[in-house]
């Protein structure tokens, strides 16, 4: 069994998709459709930068999605015949749903622009922060978060793999995490260069905004079963997915549990579309599974021969 998985924010880089667009009409069409939907030369920004503009949440989110779908359409497969499941890490869930036909491409781009703007606007710059804990499991990460909160928000944002958990919340609480985590048993704690505290309760204004946007969005049941971030469980119901995407804004990204559940359901191959960040996490969670990363034309052509 096979799952196609899609990376989240942080996987963007200047030059992304440029070589692919040069080699693939399908990729060029994707980038053109996203540009038109957003009324922006996003592909030019992806190709040429500057990096600080591409890293802005409102640009990075639709850019990463566009790159993923460009890779998938260049591969040119009927996804339901080649994959039992799809999943995505945070914003990657939108890429997964676009791949599975829940949203159209233009609709996905517009939703991600709203999502990026709303997440950035939810908390004033400097009020929130995030930190990655390395060498911890989820139980220890939760203990560290609770000990460092001291009346402020300090919550698990991403349960990435058995050795990496990301915390999110007020800047003061996250500073205490970075200061104290090692003495509490973590190997390291690293502040993340993010502009807002994603996936914690401080994001409630963004969740409210996405509830409005998703209520107005056209949605269909996915053609391939989705493993959702907030439940780490499968679903093929559009109404359920709508609610889960709202909850995802403030909820924990249960990536470790999602991969484990897919492996337990029989997935033996995970195909990362448009990035190389999820594969190493997956190998720590499901070491017996194989992983494939599709970014370049060479990657795509080699994988197509396997199918």
Q: Are 66 and 21 in contact (CB under 8 A)?
A: no
Q: Please confirm, yes or no, whether 170 is among the known catalytic residues.
A: no
Interatomic CA distance for residues 254 and 231, integer angstroms: 7
**Closest Cα to residue 78, out of 100, 109, 105?**
100
Per-residue tokens: 17? 């998709």
Selected catalytic residue, list 11, 24, 67, 90: 90
Tokens of 111: 């939703």
Q: CA–CA distance from 232 to each of 91, 155, 256, 272 (Å)?
A: 15, 18, 9, 18
DSSP codes of every residue in 189-207: EEE---SS--SSGGGHHHH
Q: Which of 7, 213, 223, 244 is nearest to 119 (CA)?
A: 213
Cβ–Cβ under 8 Å, residues 110 and 38: yes
Q: Which helix (H) or strand (E) holds 179?
A: helix 171-180
- In the sheet that holds 85-88, the strands lie side by side as 234-235, 225-227, 85-88, 2-6, 269-273, 290-294
The distance in angstroms from the start CA to the end CA of the chain is 12
d(CA 101, CA 104): 6
**Catalytic: which of 170, 199, 258, 293?**
199
Is position 90 annotated as part of the catalytic site?
yes
Positions annotated as catalytic residues are: 90, 199
């Amino acid at each position: 069994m096979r799952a196609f998985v899609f990376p989240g924010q942080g996987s963007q880089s200047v030059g992304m998709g440029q070589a692919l667009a040069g080699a693939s009409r399908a990729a060029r069409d994707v980038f053109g459709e996203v540009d038109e939907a957003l009324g922006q030369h996003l592909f030019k920004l992806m190709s040429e930068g500057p990096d600080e503009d591409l890293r802005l949440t409102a640009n990075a989110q639709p850019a990463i999605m566009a790159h993923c779908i460009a890779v998938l359409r260049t591969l040119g497969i009927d996804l339901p015949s080649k994959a039992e499941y799809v999943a995505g890490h945070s914003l990657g869930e939108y890429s997964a749903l676009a791949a599975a036909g829940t949203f159209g491409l233009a609709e996905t781009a517009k939703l991600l622009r709203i999502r990026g703007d709303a997440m950035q606007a939810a908390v004033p710059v400097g009020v929130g922060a995030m930190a990655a804990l390395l060498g911890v499991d989820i139980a220890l990460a939760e203990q560290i978060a609770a000990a460092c909160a001291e009346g402020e928000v300090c919550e698990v944002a991403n349960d990435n793999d058995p050795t990496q958990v990301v915390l999110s919340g007020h800047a003061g609480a996250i500073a205490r995490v970075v200061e104290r985590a090692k003495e509490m048993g973590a190997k390291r704690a690293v502040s993340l260069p993010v502009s807002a505290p994603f996936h914690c309760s401080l994001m409630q204004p963004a969740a409210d905004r996405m509830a409005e946007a998703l209520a107005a969005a056209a949605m269909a049941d996915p053609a391939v079963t989705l493993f959702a971030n907030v439940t780490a469980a499968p679903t093929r119901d559009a109404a359920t997915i709508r609610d889960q995407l709202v909850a995802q804004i403030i909820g924990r990204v249960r990536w470790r549990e999602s991969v484990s559940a897919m492996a337990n359901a029989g997935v033996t191959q995970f195909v990362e579309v448009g990035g190389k960040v999820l594969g190493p996490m997956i190998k720590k969670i499901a070491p017996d599974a194989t992983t494939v990363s599709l970014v370049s034309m060479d990657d795509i052509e080699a994988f197509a021969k396997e199918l």
